Structure 1
């Protein structure tokens, strides 16, 4: 970590570009430094080296978000947020197809805006902060609904479209997600993803539950496929 501290310390000198390189080279060096150094418990050392006071390791804490917004060196803040958010999203992708896809699209769109020079570093940081808050809201909703990771993954799948949210109450969608989780867990086999008869059985079960709970008929097919895809992602964990 001494090399990282020595490198990042250069950003705290008076010169706006202390190492005398172009903006592109600077961004590359920052990105490489963050990629190499943001590893498990080593994360805290980087923030210390960059002079960022961070009592809470969570990137979702209000304190950390404000520090990233106010940090003098925007390129460092941008690359740090991008790296941390990317890691957070990858963790969620392991549980929720819907949430993972939505959040990753938000991240990629923000970064593309910066790469295409449509947005400044400061503007992208604001977009990434919005993304961090979106992740926090999602986590808070899961806690509010008292759903497990698996249940919330299915909740996100069936609550993905607006017509379902308009037609069905949050409690109804919650109940559907819980029943979907338990029913799928009780009906899937180890080879269900490659055995068509087993897959057809799960599809039938899902459709039956969607109809039972009053899911919008015009969205039934899409929701069924999304639920099946979600089940595939967490299949090993469901049967274990």
Structure 2
């Protein structure tokens, strides 16, 4: 009989019961009177996760798509482990210190790797990474995508058993350190790039040929001038008036032509720069209207 995550099979009913058990345990695990059942609860939680992993691997081997519910199992563990949404309860349930970008020491990694519920510990770190990377790369589509892809890659490796719990925790912490350094990247340029200028620079520098031929300093100057153009020409009605939008795009293209960007004439490079500029436009329009 073909297995299915959504059908009312014995396995599906078992997973449903384990999901409810996880929610109850997250709320009650701190009680001293329940200490004697901790090992049993942990066993069932491990079974739940491994069932999803094996189901996913089995489907992949048969060339079948993996249901979205299975792909998102680990991501949903945090939400399903607490009924009141209190994030601190999740860390307590995981048996780990609360993650912080300012205190990602080797001691933190060691404590987290020894957490009584490694799945919840991993998901707590993943959730923190998603929130922090989104905040620090706001309006920067290149860096947002880069961090999102790195997080997804790590979680896929963990789901596919390419990384152990301890290994993925160490990798997530290393990635978190990169996120913590993100806000200071613009300071490496002379003069320093503001966050909006850095977002444009990242879009321009995504073209490797431009970096190799024109160099980082020239690309940084292009970014500064593009931001100046956007601030000068953007209007609050730029999204609804075709003439305003066309003027913006024309100004951007003229500046890129002036600098002979991109040197390899790849249309995708221009498209990405346009996408980044339009992502910043609402911010500039709001500033102009204030």
TM-score computed with the length of structure 2 as normaliser: 0.65
- The answer on 1:135 being equivalent to 2:179 is yes
Structure 2: gaps spanning 5 or more residues: 1-24, 50-73
Query: CA contact under 8 A between 2:95 and 2:121: conserved in structure 1?
Result: no
CA shift, 1:23, in A, is: 0.9
Question: What's the counterpart of residue 239 of structure 1?
Answer: 285
Question: What's the counterpart of residue 46 of structure 2?
Answer: 23
Question: What's the counterpart of residue 106 of structure 1?
Answer: 150
Question: What's the counterpart of residue 234 of structure 2?
Answer: 188
Query: CA contact under 8 A between 2:187 and 2:193: conserved in structure 1?
Result: yes
Rounded Cα–Cα distance in structure 2 between residues aligned with 1:86 and 1:17:
30
Question: What's the counterpart of residue 173 of structure 1?
Answer: 219
Superposition map of 1:1-240 within 5 A = 6-7=28-29, 17=39, 19=41, 20-25=43-48, 29-30=77-78, 32-33=80-81, 36-38=85-87, 43=88, 58-59=100-101, 61-63=103-105, 66-71=107-112, 72-73=114-115, 74-92=118-136, 94-145=138-189, 146-219=192-265, 221-240=267-286
Query: Which segment is superposed worse, 189-198 or 203-212?
Result: 189-198
Rounded Cα–Cα distance in structure 2 between residues aligned with 1:108 and 1:141:
23
SS at match of 2:44: coil
Query: Which segment is superposed worse, 113-122 or 153-162?
Result: 113-122
User: What are the Cα deviations for residues 112-136 of structure 1, in whole angstroms up to 9, with x where unaligned?
Assistant: 2222333322232233233223323
CA shift, 1:9, in A, is: 7.4
Distance 1:224 1:25, change over 3 A: same
CA shift, 1:18, in A, is: 5.0
Root mean square deviation, CA, Å: 3.3
Query: Which segment is superposed worse, 14-23 or 180-189?
Result: 14-23
Distance 1:61 1:9, change over 3 A: farther
CA shift, 1:60, in A, is: 5.1
Q: Larger relative CO (CA 8 A, sep 6+): 1 or 2? A: 1
SS at match of 1:119: coil
Rounded Cα–Cα distance in structure 1 between residues aligned with 2:31 and 2:251:
59
